[in-house]
Each structure stands twice: as structure tokens, then as C-alpha cells.
A and B are shown apart, each in its own frame.
Chain A
């Protein structure tokens, strides 16, 4: 038996094709991007260092200048992250708490609130595009309000914010469901005990329910932060071509319109680093502050 399960040849047959394929398509390109980001010209053979330019692109990326839009793009992505964390997540939490309390029509609401998540982001963006370009001006006109001169997506200052709305709207259902699932898995007797002790409503939510689902909150936070830095589909569909107001858009335009492959690679690496830094930060933030686990442990001790 043991011999069969540790047969080297069959292990290779099972594992090797996937590992090689995965390495070639996912891992190898990332290191290649990293290498490219350090060159001033592509193509250069791996190991050919004559085009090596070190961290030049990374410095250019953050050199303030009128024509350098990348720092602004990074700020926009941080603004989106802030909106997601401070507006979208609390709102989703609010819905999840209400639903977890078991109102009438609980599962119907949950199922319908989740519908936007399964719809393609292109469809969602195009619909919101029609809303901004068609319906909203019509509503404004019929109410006698002034429509912005170039339309809602024509104002350089506000269009990026409007392009945030569809994906914020779309993923409320996702966060709601994640939190709802976690809330539902809190043992009934914990809630009962807290209720007997006089906790209810907001107190129950903030003292018991939310602390107990911290692990899931971490998942939601990392999902929304990483999503912010990678945000691409919605603004790409909604905004005009060659918009560079977000890191991923900027990278795309530099790469495929301006053909500055090396420079765009540096931006891509920056996006990866940004995701990595925030993932690590979240892990540190949530380390050993596992209040839910502590509560459970204490309950076990008492029992």
C-alpha cells in the first residue's frame, strides 16, 4: 500500500504536467516581467544585460511631472480601496446582519442580492454606461436639473468616481454573502447567551457578531483591497480609450498603445508589490487578534 502511494513514477505522472504547465504560463512570465522592468529596451535575451537600466523605470514612475499620470492613478486606486473598505463593506455588513437575524423572505433576499455578482462585469459596465449617458440625463432634465455640459462621463474630475460605482454596487452581494455565511455559522447558544445577558441590536452586532467573524472580515478586506489595485474591467469599458487614471489602465495603455513594454512591466510589478504589501499588512493586523477564537476558547474553558 505504502509502496503504491509513494511510487515516484506515478507521482510524476500525476503532478509533473500541471506543475510544468503552471510554471511556464504563470510563474515564468512573472519573473520575465520583473526582468523586463529593469531593462530600457525589449527584446533583450534573458541574461543579456546590455540594456540593463536598473530601477530607472521605477523612479520615472514616481517622478512628479505634468505628463506622468501614474502617481495620480495610484492615488485613485487607493481612493477606490477606501470607498470599498469604508462604504461598501460596512453596507454589506449591515445587510448581512439584517439577513442573519432572519427577517421574512430571508433566503429570497439573499438570493436576489447575489445576482449582480454572477453577471459579467462588461454587461454591468455597459448597463451603467447607458444609465449615465441615457437615463440619468433624462431624469435630470425631467426634474429640471442641469445636466453636466459634456454628460456625466465627460467631466475629468468626476468620471473616475462614477466609474467606481458599478463594481462597488456589483460586489456588495458577494461581501454580503461571505459575511452572512460567517454570521450564520456562529453557534446559536453564543447568540442566546448574549441575548440573555441583555445584548441586542447594535450591541450584539458590535460586541459579539462582528468580532466573531473576524477571519471572514479579513477575507473580505483582502478581496476588496486586491480588487482595488487590480480594478480594470469596469473603468476600461466605461471611460474613453487611453484613459490612464488607474494603475491597471495605465499599464495597459503604456503596454499596448504606447508600446513602452519595459516601462509598463515596471508598473505591472508595482501593482503586484502593492497587492503583496497590503496582504502582508492585513496578516499582521489580524494576527493574534482573533477575538472570535478567543471567545470560543473561553467558552470551552467554562464548559
Chain B
């Protein structure tokens, strides 16, 4: 009985296919745009497949004209250094806050989580005062990215770290392992799944960040989001290359999502409370 197609089921499928189209069309359109030249985009063929596949648009955006390659390198550096620091600091802090025993640990934990409620906007001008001297370096972005992503990292880690039995520490302690060795060689490896969950969330936040990136980067350390925003102004006449730039900028997150979609979904659910 379940396999029969009823009217309801067909309507359901029609609706789902409609939204599927709505989700996929911009992507399809972006990819086809990146392979056409401007006259074709504006001419008779705005949405169809390209008549000639102009891979040159990619070379143009990547190399001389668009300098996407520079932006990409900068984004990769900023993102991965930020990830390394948020993971390390987040893990250490979570360990000290939730694993060790001391007065006031609840207070400090709440204090850090409260930071999650605060939008970056509120710190913008004082941040420029702190970071303006660093805008020729990657640190001008890495520092705020790390600081603003520490609360959510600790929150995601906290769910896992409190579930590890204390026998772990006890056994390690009896074997003569010090607290640092225990934390980094016994507890840390057990936390890898949680760290990955947090890292994916932070990765998407940092990779796609625009506001700080547009304020705190000079030309040599410009990131992808700001870069392609500028390109869109610069390339007013060359929409094919602009499309190619958009595709290149989207590719890393899209590939990550395609390779581990359920993991990415899990991360973003875990980070949902951030708001």
C-alpha cells in the first residue's frame, strides 16, 4: 500500500521539486554564467547552457585581472590559523572550566557564554582602535575571529567533555601522567569529533565573514568575500569573469558540504543557539 502514488504524494513531490529548483537555480545560473561572455549573458541566452564553454573566464578571474588567487590564499591562511587557535584555546579553556574543580568555574563559564549573545557590531569601533595598526597583517582578522568564536567552540565542546568518565584522568594520574599530558594526550584525542563539529561551524563563519574583513584588510591581505565584492564593481563589463570568481569563492565550502554533508548539518545545528 505504501508504494502507491496518491494525489497527495504527487503534490508533495511537485512542491519539493519546486523548492529544489529554487535552491539549485542560482547555483546553476552562477556556473553557466561563469562560462559565457557578457554579450551572451545579456543577449539571447541568459539562462541556457553556454554555446561555447569559456574556461578562460576562470583564468582571467584567478590570475591577472581578478587576483582571486591572492584572496584565496589570504582566506585560507586566516581561516586555518583562526581554526587552530579557536580549537586550541577553546579546548584548553573548556578543560579548565568543565573538567577541573575550582570555585567560580560556573561564573566564568557563564561569562564566556554570555559573549555569544553580543553581536560583533557592538565592538566595532573599539576594535578598529585595537586592530588598525595590524591591517597590513593577517592578525587584524585572526584576532577578532578567534575571540568571537571562542564561546560557541566552548559550548559545543562542553557537551562532550562532561561525558568523558573521570576514570580516564584517574588512570592516567596513577600511571604518573601530569595534568597537561593527560589533557593533551588522553582527553584531546577523545574530543576530536566535538572539535571537528566546532571547527566546521567556525570555518563557515570565518570563511564567509564580510564586515570585519572589509574594514581590517589592506590590499595585500584581502580575503575572498571582500575581494569578490570589489570585483563585482570592477568587472561591471565582464560578467563571465565575475561569475567565475563567484564559483571559485563558493567551491571550498560547497566541496566541504558535499563530502561531509551530515557532519556540516550537525555542526550548524550545534551552533544554532548562537543566533
A residues whose Cβ falls under 8 Å from a Cβ of B: 1-2, 4-8, 10-11, 13-15, 17-19, 21-22, 24-30, 32-33, 36, 42, 95, 98-99, 103-105, 109, 111-124, 126-131, 134-135, 138, 169, 172-174, 177-178, 181, 219-220, 222-223, 226-227, 229-230, 232-233, 236-237, 248, 251-252, 255-256, 261, 264-265, 268-269, 271-272, 275-276, 279
Contacts and interface: CB of A to CB of B under 8 A. Distances in A.
Interface in B214-246: 215, 224-225, 228-229, 232, 239, 242, 246
Contacts of A116: 23, 26
Given A5-B100, A119-B250, A25 B130 contact: yes
Contact of A115 (B27, B42, B47, B101): B27
Contacts of A14: 92-93, 95-97, 100, 183
B115 A27 contact: yes
Interface in B13-41: 13, 15-16, 19-20, 22-24, 26-27, 29-30, 33, 41
B275 interface: yes
B173 A4 contact: yes
27 contacts: A1-B173, A14-B92, A22-B150, A26-B148, A29-B124, A30-B123, A36-B125, A98-B12, A103-B13, A111-B261, A112-B20, A114-B265, A115-B257, A119-B254, A120-B210, A122-B249, A126-B232, A127-B246, A130-B239, A223-B272, A226-B119, A229-B119, A251-B121, A272-B118, A275-B117, A275-B119, A279-B275
A219 B273 contact: yes
B169 A178 contact: no
A33 B123 contact: yes
Given A124-B26, A178-B272, A256-B215, A33 B122 contact: yes
Q: What secondary structure prevails in chain A residues at the interface with B?
A: helix
Contact of B102 (A11, A104, A181): A11
- Pick the most buried of B96, B170, B249: most chain A CB atoms within 10 A of its CB: B96
Given A119-B253, A178-B272, A17 B89 contact: yes
Given A15-B93, A226-B119, 5 more contacts: A6-B100, A13-B180, A18-B89, A226-B275, A230-B121
B152 to A, nearest CB: 12
Contacts of B20: 109, 112-113
A132 B124 CA distance: 31
Contacts, number: 255
Contacts of A104: 9, 13
Contacts of A121: 208, 210
A269 B121 CA distance: 9
Contacts of A122: 208, 210, 225, 228-229, 249
B204 interface: yes
Given A1-B173, A122-B228, A135-B47, A10 B210 contact: no
Contact of B92 (A15, A28, A109, A120): A15
A2 B108 CA distance: 20
Closest 10 CB pairs of A and B: A14-B96, A29-B126, A25-B147, A29-B123, A15-B96, A18-B93, A120-B208, A32-B126, A226-B275, A6-B101
Contact of B96 (A11, A113, A248): A11
B124 A268 contact: yes
Interface of B: 9, 12-13, 15-16, 19-20, 22-24, 26-27, 29-30, 33, 41-42, 46-47, 89-90, 92-93, 95-97, 99-102, 108, 111-112, 115, 117-119, 121-127, 130, 143-144, 146-148, 150-151, 169-170, 173, 178-180, 183, 204, 207-208, 210-211, 215, 224-225, 228-229, 232, 239, 242, 246, 249-250, 253-254, 256-257, 261, 264-265, 268-269, 272-273, 275
A25 B70 CA distance: 28
Contacts of B173: 1, 4
A36 B122 CA distance: 11
Contact of A129 (B112, B215, B232): B232
B119 A117 contact: no
A195 B249 CA distance: 48
Given A15-B97, A18-B92, A265 B268 contact: no
B142 to A, nearest CB: 11
Contact of B268 (A21, A117, A229): A117
Nearest to B47: A135
Nearest to A265: B125
Contact of A5 (B12, B97, B179): B179
A271 to B, nearest CB: 6
Given A19-B93, A272-B119, A255 B169 contact: no
Contact of A103 (B9, B29, B229): B9
B205 to A, nearest CB: 11
A271 B16 contact: no
Contacts of B102: 6, 8, 11
- Pick the most buried of B108, B119, B261: most chain A CB atoms within 10 A of its CB: B119
B148 A120 contact: no
A250 B43 CA distance: 38
A118 B254 contact: yes
- Pick the most buried of B126, B170, B242: most chain A CB atoms within 10 A of its CB: B126
A21 B183 CA distance: 21
Contacts of A138: 42, 46
B275 A5 contact: no
